[in-house]
């Protein structure tokens, strides 16, 4: 509950989120919250424009940059949860593929798949 206490996410919504993603660490849920705020930063950058970011952020006459509190709904958090799970699965697949490739041995000494003494015709 502590991660979302300032975001207007209810206890029941947090429970649904935890139930939907069992076994995930606290960092997983922090990542979901961070992605909502990342959206705000991306929107700001898009609105200002890349060429104007430096002028707006450094010694700006407009003052400090302030963001409105994002709308952190259960639907948005669930959507990001599914994205993070997909990313986790992809990382596991890549690690398994790398592990397989490191342990795979070819039959021939010359790096071929043909055993020694076998002559291709």
Q: Write out pLDDT tens, residues 6-44.
A: 999 999 999 999 999 999 999 999 999 999 999 999 999
pTM of this prediction?
A: 0.71
Q: Which fold, 2-103?
A: Helicase, Ruva Protein; domain 3 (1.10.8)
Residue pLDDT, tens place only, 51-100: 989 888 888 888 888 888 898 999 999 999 999 999 999 998 888 887 77
Q: Is residue 45 predicted with pLDDT exceeding 80?
A: yes
Say how far apart CA 57 and CA 104 lie, in whole Å. 52
Q: Which two tokens stand for residue 75?
A: 């639907």
Q: Which two tokens stand for residue 114?
A: 């043909």
Terminal CA-CA length for the chain? 69
CA proximity to 34, closest of 89, 88, 92, 83? 83
Q: Quick one: pLDDT band at residue 113, thresholds 50, 70, 90?
A: low
Q: Confirm if 65 and 57 have CB atoms less than 8 A apart.
A: yes
């Amino acid at each position: 509950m502590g991660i979302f206490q300032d975001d207007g996410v209810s206890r029941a919504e947090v429970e649904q989120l935890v139930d939907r993603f069992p076994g995930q660490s606290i960092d997983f849920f922090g990542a979901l919250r961070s992605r909502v705020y990342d959206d705000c930063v991306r929107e700001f950058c898009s609105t200002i424009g890349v060429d104007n970011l430096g002028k707006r952020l450094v010694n700006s006459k407009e003052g400090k940059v302030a963001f409105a509190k994002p709308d952190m709904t259960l639907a948005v958090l669930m959507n990001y949860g599914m994205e993070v799970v997909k990313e986790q699965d992809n990382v596991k697949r890549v690690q398994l593929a790398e592990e397989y490739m490191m342990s795979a041995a070819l039959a021939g000494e010359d790096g071929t798949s043909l055993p020694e003494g076998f002559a291709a015709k």
